[in-house]
Structure 1
Amino acid sequence: MDAKTAVKEIKQGNFSPVYCLYGSEKFRMNEFAAFLESELIAKEDRDFAVIPFDLSETPVQAVVEEAETVPFMVPRKLLVVRDASLFTAGKDNAKLEHRVDVLQEYLTRPAEFSVIVFLVNSDKLDERKKIVKALKSAGIVLPFNTLGAEELLRWVEKGIRDRGCTAAPGAAEALIACAGTGLQGLTAEMDKLCLFAGSGGTVDTTAVESLVPRGTEQNVFTLVEELANLRLDKAVGMLHELLKQREEPIKIAALIARQFRIILQVKDLSAQSYSQGQIASQLGLHPYAVKLAGEQARKFAGAQLREILSSLADLDYQMKTGRIDKVLGLELFMLRLGAGRPA
Structure 2
Amino acid sequence: MDYKSAAREIGKGNVSPVYVCYGSETYLLREFTGYLIQKLIEPEYREFAISKYDLAETSLDIVLEDAQTLPFMAPKKIILADNAQFFTGAKESGKVEHHPEKLLEYMKAAAEFSVIVFIVNADKLDERKKIVKSLKDTTIPFVPMNAEELLQWVKKQAVRQSFTFAEGADDQLILYTGGGLQALSAEMEKLSLFVGEGGTVTGDIVDRLVTRSTEQNVFILIDDIVRLRLNRAFSILYDLLKQKEEPVKIVLLIARQFRIVLQVKELSKLGYSQQQMAGQIGLHPYAVKVAAEQGQKYTPDKLETILAELAELDYRLKTGKVDKVLGLEMFLMRLAS
Identify the TM-score tier after normalising by the shorter chain. Answer: over 0.9
**Corresponding residue to 1:162 among 150, 156, 160:** 160
Provide the residue aligned with 2:78 in structure 1: 78
Q: 1:316 to 1:165 in 2, by over 3 A?
A: same
Counterpart-to-counterpart distance in 1, 2:134 and 2:237: 56
Deviates more, 1:162-171 or 1:251-260: 162-171
Structure 1 residues 80-229: aligned runs within 5 Å: 80-136=80-136, 140-229=138-227
Cα deviation for residue 51 of structure 1 reads 0.5
Q: TM-score, normalised by structure 1?
A: 0.91
Contact 1:68 1:111 in 2 (8 A): yes
Q: Does 1:9 align with 2:9?
A: yes
Counterpart-to-counterpart distance in 2, 1:133 and 1:338: 52
Counterpart-to-counterpart distance in 1, 2:95 and 2:233: 54
Cα deviation for residue 87 of structure 1 reads 1.9
Contact 1:220 1:255 in 2 (8 A): yes
Counterpart-to-counterpart distance in 2, 1:199 and 1:257: 42
Alpha carbon RMSD of aligned pairs, Å? 2.0
Q: Residue 64 of structure 1 aligns to a residue in which SS?
A: helix
Contact 1:26 1:121 in 2 (8 A): no
Contact 2:176 2:220 in 1 (8 A): no
Q: Residue 78 of structure 1 aligns to a residue in which SS?
A: strand
Counterpart-to-counterpart distance in 1, 2:131 and 2:302: 53
Residue type of the alignment partner of 1:104: L
Provide the residue aligned with 1:27 in structure 2: 27
Provide the residue aligned with 1:318 in structure 2: 316
Provide the residue aligned with 1:57 in structure 2: 57
Contact 2:25 2:142 in 1 (8 A): yes
Q: 1:10 to 1:203 in 2, by over 3 A?
A: farther
Counterpart-to-counterpart distance in 2, 1:88 and 1:337: 44
Contact 2:17 2:116 in 1 (8 A): yes
Counterpart-to-counterpart distance in 1, 2:102 and 2:123: 25
Cα deviation for residue 319 of structure 1 reads 0.8
Counterpart-to-counterpart distance in 2, 1:297 and 1:171: 23
Residue type of the alignment partner of 2:322: I
Which stretches in structure 1 are left out of the alignment for 5+ residues?
Answer: none
Counterpart-to-counterpart distance in 1, 2:235 and 2:97: 60
Counterpart-to-counterpart distance in 1, 2:161 and 2:73: 34
Q: Does 1:241 align with 2:239?
A: yes
Provide the residue aligned with 1:260 in structure 2: 258
Counterpart-to-counterpart distance in 1, 2:249 and 2:84: 39
Provide the residue aligned with 2:282 in structure 1: 284
Q: Residue 169 of structure 1 aligns to a residue in which SS?
A: coil
Deviates more, 1:122-131 or 1:143-152: 122-131
Deviates more, 1:268-277 or 1:62-71: 268-277
Counterpart-to-counterpart distance in 2, 1:108 and 1:161: 45
Cα deviation for residue 127 of structure 1 reads 2.8
Contact 2:178 2:284 in 1 (8 A): no
Contact 1:56 1:94 in 2 (8 A): no
Deviates more, 1:165-174 or 1:140-149: 165-174
Q: Residue 53 of structure 1 aligns to a residue in which SS?
A: strand
1:289-313 CA-to-partner distances (Å, cap 9, x unmatched) read 1111111111122222222222221
Cα deviation for residue 200 of structure 1 reads 4.2
1:32-54 CA-to-partner distances (Å, cap 9, x unmatched) read 11221122111221111000111
1:254-274 CA-to-partner distances (Å, cap 9, x unmatched) read 112222222222222223333
Which stretches in structure 2 are left out of the alignment for 5+ residues?
Answer: none
